[in-house]
Structure 1
Amino acid sequence: MFSHLNEEGRGRMVDIGGKKDTERYAKAHGYVFMSAKILKAVEKGEIKKGDVLAVAQIAGIMAAKRTPYEIPLCHPLMITHADIKFRIIKEYPCIEIISEVKTTGKTGAEMEALNAVSTAALTIYDMCKGLEKGIVIGDISLLEKSGGKSGLWKPEFVKEGKIINIAVGSKKGEEKKPVEKCEIIENFGLKGDAHAGGSKKQVSIFAVESLKEVPENKMIEVMRGGYTENLTIVGIPLYYLVPENVLRVGTVEIEIESVGKESFVNGGRPYIVSRKGIFGHVKKTGIAKVGDTIGVIN
Protein backbone atom coordinates (compact mmCIF):
# COMPACT_ATOMS: atom_id res chain seq x y z
CA MET A 1 0.00 0.00 0.00
CA PHE A 2 1.20 3.50 -0.75
CA SER A 3 2.23 5.30 2.43
CA HIS A 4 0.11 8.33 1.52
CA LEU A 5 -3.09 6.27 1.43
CA ASN A 6 -5.06 5.11 4.47
CA GLU A 7 -6.90 1.79 4.83
CA GLU A 8 -9.82 3.21 2.86
CA GLY A 9 -7.58 4.27 -0.03
CA ARG A 10 -7.87 7.97 0.73
CA GLY A 11 -5.01 10.44 1.05
CA ARG A 12 -3.36 11.05 4.39
CA MET A 13 -0.25 12.77 5.72
CA VAL A 14 2.32 10.14 6.67
CA ASP A 15 3.22 9.94 10.37
CA ILE A 16 6.91 10.85 10.61
CA GLY A 17 6.92 11.37 14.38
CA GLY A 18 9.22 8.41 14.99
CA LYS A 19 11.92 9.55 12.60
CA LYS A 20 15.18 11.09 13.77
CA ASP A 21 16.06 14.68 12.98
CA THR A 22 18.93 14.81 10.48
CA GLU A 23 20.47 17.43 8.25
CA ARG A 24 18.69 17.40 4.89
CA TYR A 25 19.77 18.85 1.55
CA ALA A 26 18.15 18.91 -1.87
CA LYS A 27 19.21 20.36 -5.21
CA ALA A 28 17.01 20.63 -8.30
CA HIS A 29 17.09 22.32 -11.67
CA GLY A 30 14.97 23.13 -14.71
CA TYR A 31 15.01 25.15 -17.92
CA VAL A 32 13.09 28.01 -19.51
CA PHE A 33 13.49 28.10 -23.30
CA MET A 34 12.96 31.33 -25.24
CA SER A 35 14.16 33.21 -28.30
CA ALA A 36 17.67 34.65 -28.36
CA LYS A 37 16.16 38.14 -28.53
CA ILE A 38 14.16 37.74 -25.30
CA LEU A 39 17.06 36.00 -23.55
CA LYS A 40 19.30 38.96 -24.35
CA ALA A 41 16.67 41.37 -23.00
CA VAL A 42 16.42 39.36 -19.76
CA GLU A 43 20.19 39.30 -19.36
CA LYS A 44 20.49 43.06 -19.93
CA GLY A 45 17.55 43.92 -17.67
CA GLU A 46 15.51 45.37 -20.52
CA ILE A 47 12.17 43.68 -19.77
CA LYS A 48 9.64 46.41 -18.94
CA LYS A 49 8.17 44.54 -15.97
CA GLY A 50 11.52 44.76 -14.19
CA ASP A 51 14.53 42.63 -13.28
CA VAL A 52 13.27 39.19 -14.31
CA LEU A 53 15.90 37.09 -12.55
CA ALA A 54 15.79 39.09 -9.31
CA VAL A 55 12.02 38.66 -9.09
CA ALA A 56 12.21 34.98 -10.07
CA GLN A 57 14.83 34.34 -7.39
CA ILE A 58 12.64 35.76 -4.62
CA ALA A 59 9.59 33.95 -6.02
CA GLY A 60 11.47 30.65 -5.95
CA ILE A 61 12.65 31.11 -2.38
CA MET A 62 9.14 32.06 -1.26
CA ALA A 63 7.76 28.99 -3.04
CA ALA A 64 10.19 26.71 -1.19
CA LYS A 65 8.86 28.03 2.12
CA ARG A 66 5.22 27.64 1.04
CA THR A 67 5.48 24.14 -0.43
CA PRO A 68 3.16 22.43 2.10
CA TYR A 69 0.43 24.94 1.19
CA GLU A 70 0.62 23.87 -2.46
CA ILE A 71 1.37 20.13 -2.21
CA PRO A 72 -1.46 18.72 -0.06
CA LEU A 73 0.33 15.93 1.82
CA CYS A 74 3.74 17.59 2.10
CA HIS A 75 5.02 18.19 5.65
CA PRO A 76 5.93 21.74 6.74
CA LEU A 77 9.68 22.22 7.14
CA MET A 78 11.77 24.64 9.14
CA ILE A 79 13.97 25.63 6.20
CA THR A 80 17.45 26.75 7.26
CA HIS A 81 18.68 27.74 3.79
CA ALA A 82 17.17 28.31 0.35
CA ASP A 83 18.81 29.75 -2.74
CA ILE A 84 18.16 30.06 -6.46
CA LYS A 85 20.84 30.51 -9.11
CA PHE A 86 20.52 31.08 -12.84
CA ARG A 87 22.70 30.22 -15.80
CA ILE A 88 22.20 32.00 -19.12
CA ILE A 89 22.81 29.55 -21.98
CA LYS A 90 23.25 31.54 -25.18
CA GLU A 91 24.23 28.60 -27.42
CA TYR A 92 20.68 27.20 -27.20
CA PRO A 93 18.77 30.19 -25.81
CA CYS A 94 17.47 29.22 -22.41
CA ILE A 95 17.89 29.86 -18.70
CA GLU A 96 18.88 27.05 -16.36
CA ILE A 97 17.43 27.45 -12.86
CA ILE A 98 19.22 25.71 -9.97
CA SER A 99 17.75 25.56 -6.47
CA GLU A 100 19.24 24.42 -3.17
CA VAL A 101 17.32 23.88 0.05
CA LYS A 102 18.55 22.81 3.49
CA THR A 103 16.78 21.88 6.69
CA THR A 104 17.26 19.81 9.82
CA GLY A 105 14.25 17.63 10.41
CA LYS A 106 12.40 14.36 9.95
CA THR A 107 11.72 14.55 6.22
CA GLY A 108 13.56 15.67 3.11
CA ALA A 109 13.58 18.93 1.17
CA GLU A 110 13.16 17.48 -2.33
CA MET A 111 9.69 18.92 -2.90
CA GLU A 112 10.80 22.34 -1.69
CA ALA A 113 13.71 22.37 -4.14
CA LEU A 114 11.51 21.26 -7.04
CA ASN A 115 8.77 23.73 -6.15
CA ALA A 116 11.32 26.55 -6.01
CA VAL A 117 12.50 25.79 -9.55
CA SER A 118 8.94 25.46 -10.88
CA THR A 119 7.80 28.78 -9.42
CA ALA A 120 10.93 30.62 -10.52
CA ALA A 121 10.33 29.30 -14.05
CA LEU A 122 6.68 30.37 -14.02
CA THR A 123 7.74 33.82 -12.81
CA ILE A 124 10.15 34.17 -15.73
CA TYR A 125 7.34 33.18 -18.08
CA ASP A 126 4.93 35.65 -16.49
CA MET A 127 7.36 38.55 -16.80
CA CYS A 128 8.24 37.76 -20.44
CA LYS A 129 4.94 36.49 -21.85
CA GLY A 130 3.97 39.92 -23.16
CA LEU A 131 6.91 39.71 -25.57
CA GLU A 132 6.85 36.00 -26.37
CA LYS A 133 4.00 33.54 -25.81
CA GLY A 134 5.99 30.52 -27.01
CA ILE A 135 8.32 30.33 -24.01
CA VAL A 136 8.67 26.70 -22.87
CA ILE A 137 9.34 25.40 -19.35
CA GLY A 138 10.80 21.92 -19.03
CA ASP A 139 13.23 19.31 -17.80
CA ILE A 140 12.61 20.03 -14.10
CA SER A 141 14.28 17.34 -12.03
CA LEU A 142 16.04 16.52 -8.78
CA LEU A 143 19.84 16.63 -9.00
CA GLU A 144 20.78 15.51 -5.51
CA LYS A 145 19.44 14.82 -2.03
CA SER A 146 21.10 13.85 1.23
CA GLY A 147 20.12 13.08 4.80
CA GLY A 148 17.62 10.76 6.38
CA LYS A 149 17.55 6.96 6.33
CA SER A 150 18.25 6.70 2.60
CA GLY A 151 21.25 9.04 2.81
CA LEU A 152 22.82 10.42 -0.35
CA TRP A 153 21.09 10.10 -3.71
CA LYS A 154 22.82 11.46 -6.79
CA PRO A 155 22.38 10.05 -10.29
CA GLU A 156 25.48 8.88 -12.14
CA PHE A 157 24.47 11.09 -15.07
CA VAL A 158 22.14 14.06 -15.30
CA LYS A 159 21.61 13.13 -18.96
CA GLU A 160 23.17 10.29 -20.92
CA GLY A 161 23.66 9.12 -24.48
CA LYS A 162 25.89 6.84 -26.54
CA ILE A 163 29.13 7.15 -28.48
CA ILE A 164 28.36 6.03 -32.03
CA ASN A 165 31.73 6.83 -33.61
CA ILE A 166 35.32 7.55 -32.59
CA ALA A 167 37.73 9.02 -35.13
CA VAL A 168 41.44 9.88 -35.01
CA GLY A 169 43.48 11.86 -37.54
CA SER A 170 47.26 11.81 -37.76
CA LYS A 171 47.43 15.07 -39.75
CA LYS A 172 45.59 18.36 -39.40
CA GLY A 173 43.39 19.30 -42.33
CA GLU A 174 42.65 15.68 -43.22
CA GLU A 175 39.58 13.58 -42.47
CA LYS A 176 39.81 11.48 -39.33
CA LYS A 177 39.61 7.69 -39.57
CA PRO A 178 37.11 5.67 -37.49
CA VAL A 179 38.46 3.43 -34.72
CA GLU A 180 36.66 1.08 -32.33
CA LYS A 181 38.32 2.45 -29.20
CA CYS A 182 40.90 4.99 -28.16
CA GLU A 183 42.82 6.16 -25.11
CA ILE A 184 41.86 9.69 -24.08
CA ILE A 185 44.64 11.30 -22.07
CA GLU A 186 44.40 13.95 -19.35
CA ASN A 187 45.40 17.45 -20.52
CA PHE A 188 46.13 16.06 -23.98
CA GLY A 189 43.28 14.45 -25.94
CA LEU A 190 42.93 11.33 -28.07
CA LYS A 191 46.14 9.34 -28.40
CA GLY A 192 47.46 9.66 -31.95
CA ASP A 193 45.23 12.59 -32.93
CA ALA A 194 46.86 15.61 -34.55
CA HIS A 195 44.61 18.07 -32.70
CA ALA A 196 45.48 16.73 -29.24
CA GLY A 197 47.45 18.84 -26.77
CA GLY A 198 48.42 22.47 -26.84
CA SER A 199 45.07 24.08 -26.05
CA LYS A 200 41.82 23.72 -24.16
CA LYS A 201 40.21 22.31 -27.34
CA GLN A 202 41.80 18.88 -27.03
CA VAL A 203 38.73 16.84 -28.00
CA SER A 204 36.09 17.61 -30.62
CA ILE A 205 32.59 16.19 -30.21
CA PHE A 206 29.61 16.18 -32.54
CA ALA A 207 26.06 15.54 -31.32
CA VAL A 208 23.81 13.96 -33.95
CA GLU A 209 20.97 16.15 -32.68
CA SER A 210 22.80 19.15 -34.17
CA LEU A 211 21.81 17.98 -37.64
CA LYS A 212 18.41 19.59 -37.15
CA GLU A 213 20.25 22.92 -37.41
CA VAL A 214 21.41 22.13 -40.97
CA PRO A 215 19.45 23.84 -43.78
CA GLU A 216 17.82 21.48 -46.27
CA ASN A 217 20.05 22.66 -49.12
CA LYS A 218 23.17 21.77 -47.10
CA MET A 219 22.13 18.39 -45.69
CA ILE A 220 23.41 16.16 -48.50
CA GLU A 221 26.94 17.57 -48.48
CA VAL A 222 27.04 17.52 -44.67
CA MET A 223 26.02 13.85 -44.59
CA ARG A 224 28.52 12.91 -47.32
CA GLY A 225 31.40 14.62 -45.57
CA GLY A 226 33.99 12.56 -43.70
CA TYR A 227 34.60 12.73 -39.96
CA THR A 228 36.23 15.92 -38.72
CA GLU A 229 35.42 15.32 -35.03
CA ASN A 230 36.77 12.81 -32.51
CA LEU A 231 33.56 11.63 -30.87
CA THR A 232 30.11 11.41 -32.42
CA ILE A 233 27.39 11.05 -29.79
CA VAL A 234 23.62 10.73 -29.68
CA GLY A 235 20.94 11.07 -27.01
CA ILE A 236 21.95 14.09 -24.92
CA PRO A 237 19.86 17.27 -25.35
CA LEU A 238 21.96 20.01 -26.93
CA TYR A 239 21.34 22.48 -24.11
CA TYR A 240 23.29 20.16 -21.78
CA LEU A 241 26.29 20.21 -24.14
CA VAL A 242 27.45 23.70 -23.21
CA PRO A 243 30.55 25.25 -21.58
CA GLU A 244 31.34 24.30 -17.96
CA ASN A 245 29.39 21.04 -18.13
CA VAL A 246 31.47 17.87 -17.81
CA LEU A 247 31.02 14.67 -19.84
CA ARG A 248 32.07 11.27 -18.52
CA VAL A 249 32.64 8.04 -20.42
CA GLY A 250 34.11 5.26 -18.31
CA THR A 251 36.85 6.95 -16.30
CA VAL A 252 37.33 9.72 -18.88
CA GLU A 253 36.08 13.20 -17.99
CA ILE A 254 35.91 16.01 -20.56
CA GLU A 255 34.99 19.56 -19.60
CA ILE A 256 33.25 21.46 -22.39
CA GLU A 257 35.08 24.67 -23.30
CA SER A 258 33.13 26.00 -26.26
CA VAL A 259 30.47 25.34 -28.87
CA GLY A 260 31.33 26.21 -32.47
CA LYS A 261 34.45 27.81 -33.89
CA GLU A 262 35.49 31.44 -34.25
CA SER A 263 34.87 31.31 -38.01
CA PHE A 264 32.25 29.31 -39.90
CA VAL A 265 32.81 26.96 -42.84
CA ASN A 266 30.12 26.94 -45.52
CA GLY A 267 30.63 23.52 -47.08
CA GLY A 268 30.75 19.81 -46.22
CA ARG A 269 30.58 18.37 -42.74
CA PRO A 270 32.56 21.33 -41.33
CA TYR A 271 29.48 23.45 -42.10
CA ILE A 272 27.72 22.13 -38.99
CA VAL A 273 30.82 21.23 -36.94
CA SER A 274 32.13 24.80 -37.21
CA ARG A 275 28.78 26.07 -35.91
CA LYS A 276 27.68 23.42 -33.41
CA GLY A 277 30.76 21.31 -32.78
CA ILE A 278 31.64 20.83 -29.11
CA PHE A 279 35.20 21.30 -27.91
CA GLY A 280 36.65 20.38 -24.54
CA HIS A 281 39.71 19.51 -22.50
CA VAL A 282 40.40 16.20 -20.80
CA LYS A 283 40.31 16.18 -17.00
CA LYS A 284 40.76 12.42 -16.46
CA THR A 285 42.38 9.66 -18.52
CA GLY A 286 40.73 6.46 -19.73
CA ILE A 287 39.56 4.34 -22.64
CA ALA A 288 36.46 5.14 -24.72
CA LYS A 289 34.80 2.62 -27.05
CA VAL A 290 32.10 2.86 -29.69
CA GLY A 291 28.81 1.99 -27.98
CA ASP A 292 29.89 3.28 -24.57
CA THR A 293 27.50 5.33 -22.49
CA ILE A 294 28.53 8.98 -22.23
CA GLY A 295 26.78 11.37 -19.89
CA VAL A 296 26.72 14.80 -18.29
CA ILE A 297 27.74 14.55 -14.64
CA ASN A 298 26.31 16.63 -11.81
Structure 2
Amino acid sequence: MIESYIVSINISKRKGVVKEPVQKAEIKENWGIIGDAHAGNWHRQISMLSEESIDKMRNLGYELKYGDFAENITVKNGDIYKLPVGTKVKIGETLLEITQIGKKCHTSCAISQTIGKCVMPIEGIFLKVLKGGEIKVGDSVIFYTHELTNI
Protein backbone atom coordinates (compact mmCIF):
# COMPACT_ATOMS: atom_id res chain seq x y z
CA MET A 1 0.00 0.00 0.00
CA ILE A 2 1.28 3.46 -0.94
CA GLU A 3 -0.40 6.61 0.32
CA SER A 4 -0.50 9.95 -1.46
CA TYR A 5 -2.85 12.94 -1.82
CA ILE A 6 -4.37 15.02 -4.61
CA VAL A 7 -2.64 18.35 -5.27
CA SER A 8 -4.71 19.18 -8.36
CA ILE A 9 -7.74 18.00 -10.34
CA ASN A 10 -7.73 19.12 -13.97
CA ILE A 11 -10.33 18.97 -16.75
CA SER A 12 -10.78 20.18 -20.32
CA LYS A 13 -13.77 20.30 -22.65
CA ARG A 14 -11.72 19.06 -25.64
CA LYS A 15 -8.78 16.78 -26.30
CA GLY A 16 -5.27 17.96 -27.21
CA VAL A 17 -5.22 20.99 -24.90
CA VAL A 18 -3.92 21.62 -21.40
CA LYS A 19 -6.44 21.00 -18.64
CA GLU A 20 -7.63 23.65 -16.19
CA PRO A 21 -7.57 23.06 -12.41
CA VAL A 22 -10.82 22.65 -10.47
CA GLN A 23 -11.29 22.16 -6.71
CA LYS A 24 -13.51 19.08 -6.97
CA ALA A 25 -14.95 16.72 -9.55
CA GLU A 26 -17.59 14.05 -9.89
CA ILE A 27 -16.30 10.70 -11.12
CA LYS A 28 -18.77 8.41 -12.87
CA GLU A 29 -18.40 4.62 -12.82
CA ASN A 30 -17.17 3.20 -16.16
CA TRP A 31 -16.88 6.73 -17.55
CA GLY A 32 -14.37 9.08 -15.84
CA ILE A 33 -14.60 12.69 -14.73
CA ILE A 34 -17.92 14.26 -15.69
CA GLY A 35 -17.25 17.21 -18.02
CA ASP A 36 -13.80 16.05 -19.15
CA ALA A 37 -13.11 15.37 -22.85
CA HIS A 38 -11.18 12.15 -22.14
CA ALA A 39 -14.02 10.50 -20.22
CA GLY A 40 -15.79 7.65 -21.96
CA ASN A 41 -16.32 3.93 -22.11
CA TRP A 42 -12.69 2.89 -22.61
CA HIS A 43 -9.60 1.90 -20.59
CA ARG A 44 -8.11 5.42 -20.18
CA GLN A 45 -10.98 7.18 -18.42
CA ILE A 46 -8.73 9.15 -16.06
CA SER A 47 -5.06 10.13 -16.31
CA MET A 48 -2.77 10.68 -13.34
CA LEU A 49 0.72 12.12 -12.95
CA SER A 50 2.81 12.79 -9.86
CA GLU A 51 4.07 16.23 -8.96
CA GLU A 52 7.56 14.73 -8.81
CA SER A 53 7.29 13.79 -12.49
CA ILE A 54 6.29 17.37 -13.33
CA ASP A 55 9.21 18.60 -11.20
CA LYS A 56 11.63 16.70 -13.48
CA MET A 57 10.55 19.00 -16.30
CA ARG A 58 10.54 22.08 -14.06
CA ASN A 59 14.13 21.27 -13.09
CA LEU A 60 15.03 21.58 -16.80
CA GLY A 61 13.93 25.21 -16.61
CA TYR A 62 10.33 24.96 -17.80
CA GLU A 63 7.57 26.83 -16.00
CA LEU A 64 4.72 24.35 -15.74
CA LYS A 65 1.42 24.33 -13.91
CA TYR A 66 -0.92 21.49 -13.01
CA GLY A 67 -2.87 20.27 -16.03
CA ASP A 68 -0.18 21.26 -18.55
CA PHE A 69 0.45 17.58 -19.30
CA ALA A 70 -3.32 17.04 -19.71
CA GLU A 71 -3.38 14.94 -16.54
CA ASN A 72 -6.72 14.72 -14.76
CA ILE A 73 -5.29 14.14 -11.31
CA THR A 74 -1.93 15.32 -10.01
CA VAL A 75 -0.74 13.57 -6.86
CA LYS A 76 2.11 14.11 -4.45
CA ASN A 77 3.83 10.72 -4.44
CA GLY A 78 7.02 9.86 -6.31
CA ASP A 79 7.11 7.01 -8.77
CA ILE A 80 3.47 6.03 -9.35
CA TYR A 81 4.40 4.97 -12.89
CA LYS A 82 6.30 2.03 -11.38
CA LEU A 83 3.09 0.54 -9.95
CA PRO A 84 1.76 -2.48 -11.84
CA VAL A 85 -1.27 -2.49 -14.10
CA GLY A 86 -4.18 -3.80 -12.02
CA THR A 87 -3.26 -1.73 -8.94
CA LYS A 88 -6.43 -0.45 -7.24
CA VAL A 89 -6.58 3.22 -6.30
CA LYS A 90 -8.94 4.49 -3.60
CA ILE A 91 -9.79 8.19 -3.42
CA GLY A 92 -12.50 8.97 -0.88
CA GLU A 93 -15.51 6.85 -1.81
CA THR A 94 -14.23 6.18 -5.34
CA LEU A 95 -12.29 3.16 -6.57
CA LEU A 96 -10.14 3.16 -9.70
CA GLU A 97 -7.85 0.62 -11.36
CA ILE A 98 -4.61 1.26 -13.22
CA THR A 99 -5.07 0.01 -16.80
CA GLN A 100 -2.02 1.47 -18.57
CA ILE A 101 1.36 2.98 -17.76
CA GLY A 102 2.55 5.61 -20.22
CA LYS A 103 1.25 6.13 -23.75
CA LYS A 104 2.37 6.95 -27.24
CA CYS A 105 2.90 10.69 -27.46
CA HIS A 106 1.07 12.52 -30.21
CA THR A 107 2.98 15.53 -31.56
CA SER A 108 -0.13 17.68 -31.67
CA CYS A 109 -0.47 17.88 -27.87
CA ALA A 110 -0.08 21.31 -26.33
CA ILE A 111 2.97 20.47 -24.19
CA SER A 112 4.83 18.85 -27.09
CA GLN A 113 4.17 21.90 -29.26
CA THR A 114 5.28 24.28 -26.53
CA ILE A 115 8.48 22.69 -25.22
CA GLY A 116 9.05 19.67 -27.45
CA LYS A 117 9.41 17.24 -24.55
CA CYS A 118 6.84 15.50 -22.37
CA VAL A 119 6.97 13.26 -19.30
CA MET A 120 3.37 11.99 -19.61
CA PRO A 121 4.14 9.25 -22.21
CA ILE A 122 6.60 7.63 -19.78
CA GLU A 123 5.38 8.46 -16.27
CA GLY A 124 1.66 9.09 -16.68
CA ILE A 125 -0.76 6.38 -15.57
CA PHE A 126 -4.25 5.71 -16.84
CA LEU A 127 -7.18 4.37 -14.88
CA LYS A 128 -10.73 3.14 -15.27
CA VAL A 129 -13.44 3.91 -12.72
CA LEU A 130 -14.77 0.93 -10.76
CA LYS A 131 -16.84 2.99 -8.31
CA GLY A 132 -17.79 6.64 -8.74
CA GLY A 133 -18.17 9.55 -6.36
CA GLU A 134 -16.80 13.00 -5.62
CA ILE A 135 -13.10 13.78 -5.30
CA LYS A 136 -11.49 17.02 -4.17
CA VAL A 137 -8.06 18.59 -3.85
CA GLY A 138 -6.40 17.36 -0.67
CA ASP A 139 -8.11 13.95 -0.71
CA SER A 140 -5.99 10.98 0.30
CA VAL A 141 -5.03 8.59 -2.53
CA ILE A 142 -4.21 5.01 -1.58
CA PHE A 143 -2.62 2.61 -4.07
CA TYR A 144 -3.23 -1.08 -3.32
CA THR A 145 -1.03 -3.59 -5.15
CA HIS A 146 -2.79 -6.55 -3.50
CA GLU A 147 -6.40 -7.73 -3.56
CA LEU A 148 -8.82 -5.48 -1.73
CA THR A 149 -11.57 -6.76 0.51
CA ASN A 150 -14.48 -4.97 2.15
CA ILE A 151 -14.26 -1.71 0.23
Question: TM-score, normalising length from structure 1?
Answer: 0.42
Aligned to 1:199: 42
Structure 1 residue 238: deviation in Å? 2.9
The one-letter code matched in structure 1 to 2:86 is E
The one-letter code matched in structure 2 to 1:223 is L
1:296 to 104, 126, 143: 143
Contact 1:209–1:238 (CA under 8 A) maintained in structure 2: no
Runs of 5+ consecutive residues of structure 2 not aligned to the other structure: 147-151
Structure 1 residue 159: deviation in Å? 1.2
Correspondence 1:235 to 2:82: no
1:129-278 correspondence to structure 2 within 5 Å: 158-211=1-54, 214=57, 219-221=60-62, 223=64, 226-235=68-77, 237-238=79-80, 241-263=83-105, 267=112, 268=115, 271-278=118-125
Identify if the C-alpha distance between structure 1 residues 199 and 272 changes in structure 2 by more than 3 Å, giving closer, same or farther.
same
Identify if the C-alpha distance between structure 1 residues 275 and 295 changes in structure 2 by more than 3 Å, giving closer, same or farther.
same
Aligned to 1:48: none
SS for the counterpart of 2:64 is: helix
Structure 1 residue 264: deviation in Å? 6.4
Contact 1:226–1:269 (CA under 8 A) maintained in structure 2: no
Sequence identity (%): 32
Q: Which structure's residues are more often helix, by fraction? A: 1
Q: Deviation digits for residues 118-159 of structure 1, max 9, x if unmatched?
A: xxxxxxxxxxxxxxxxxxxxxxxxxxxxxxxxxxxxxxxx11
Question: TM-score, normalising length from structure 2?
Answer: 0.79
Q: Tell me which of the two structures has the higher relative contact order, counting C-alpha pairs closer than 8 angstroms and 6 or more residues apart.
A: 2
The one-letter code matched in structure 2 to 1:289 is K
Identify if the C-alpha distance between structure 1 residues 178 and 214 changes in structure 2 by more than 3 Å, giving closer, same or farther.
closer
Structure 1 residue 214: deviation in Å? 4.5
Aligned to 1:127: none
1:276-291 correspondence to structure 2 within 5 Å: 276-291=123-138
Say what the alpha-carbon RMSD is for the aligned residues.
Answer: 2.6
Contact 2:81–2:102 (CA under 8 A) maintained in structure 1: no
Q: Deviation digits for residues 3-52 of structure 1, max 9, x if unmatched?
A: xxxxxxxxxxxxxxxxxxxxxxxxxxxxxxxxxxxxxxxxxxxxxxxxxx
Q: Deviation digits for residues 254-273 of structure 1, max 9, x if unmatched?
A: 10011111236583497011
The one-letter code matched in structure 1 to 2:25 is C
Q: Distance in 2 between matches of 1:169 and 1:256?
A: 21
Contact 1:223–1:269 (CA under 8 A) maintained in structure 2: no
SS for the counterpart of 1:274 is: helix
The one-letter code matched in structure 2 to 1:221 is Y
Q: Distance in 1 between matches of 2:13 and 2:81?
A: 31
Structure 1 residue 209: deviation in Å? 2.5
Structure 1 residue 244: deviation in Å? 1.0
Q: Deviation digits for residues 209-234 of structure 1, max 9, x if unmatched?
A: 22465495xx3336268351100001
Q: Deviation digits for residues 172-207 of structure 1, max 9, x if unmatched?
A: 112211110001111100000000013100000011
Contact 2:80–2:125 (CA under 8 A) maintained in structure 1: no
The one-letter code matched in structure 1 to 2:10 is A
Runs of 5+ consecutive residues of structure 1 not aligned to the other structure: 1-157
Q: Deviation digits for residues 88-115 of structure 1, max 9, x if unmatched?
A: xxxxxxxxxxxxxxxxxxxxxxxxxxxx
Identify if the C-alpha distance between structure 1 residues 256 and 220 changes in structure 2 by more than 3 Å, giving closer, same or farther.
same
How many residue pairs align between the two structures?
A: 139
